[in-house]
Amino acid sequence: MDSSAHRYQKFISDIAGHDVVSHSNSVGKVICHIRDWLSTESRNFTIAGGDYILGRYRDFRRELPALCTAMKRNLEKLTFSDFSGAIRSWLEAYEG
């Protein structure tokens, strides 16, 4: 994926023939594109729709500051591991 259509053609010729999808810097588009790709490639037709996943992501992001406080972490300085831990904690609390 790329932030704008055809931008990649200016600097990468190695991926010619592959469909690069523009997400226009939209989290919703990124989530939907990845969801659709995963569903197609895995042939797993039970993956929830992109709109549902986006809604869950927005729920998580709203609660992330409180999770950071509980984890004694600075939201602006989360490492990938910290962020993953916050996701895990949130999922356990809400899908337990």
Residue 66, pLDDT score: 95
List pLDDT tens digits, range 4-58. 676 655 555 555 555 667 777 889 999 999 999 899 889 988 999 999 999 999 9
Q: Which of 44-53, 73-82, 87-96 has the lowest mean pLDDT?
A: 87-96
Domain layout of the chain by residue ranges: 1-11+19-47, 59-96
Better pLDDT: 72 or 8: 72
Residue 57, pLDDT score: 95
Distance between alpha carbon 37 and the CA centroid of its chain, in Å? Answer: 13
User: CA quadruple 62, 2, 53, 77: dihedral positive or negative?
Assistant: negative
Give residues with Cβ within 8 angstroms of 56, minimum separation 6: none
Provide the pLDDT confidence category of residue 94 given band limits of 50, 70 and 90.
confident
**Which has the closest alpha carbon to 47: 64, 32, 30?**
32
Could you tell me the CA-to-CA distances from 46 to 69, 79, 88 in Å, in that order? Answer: 34, 31, 21
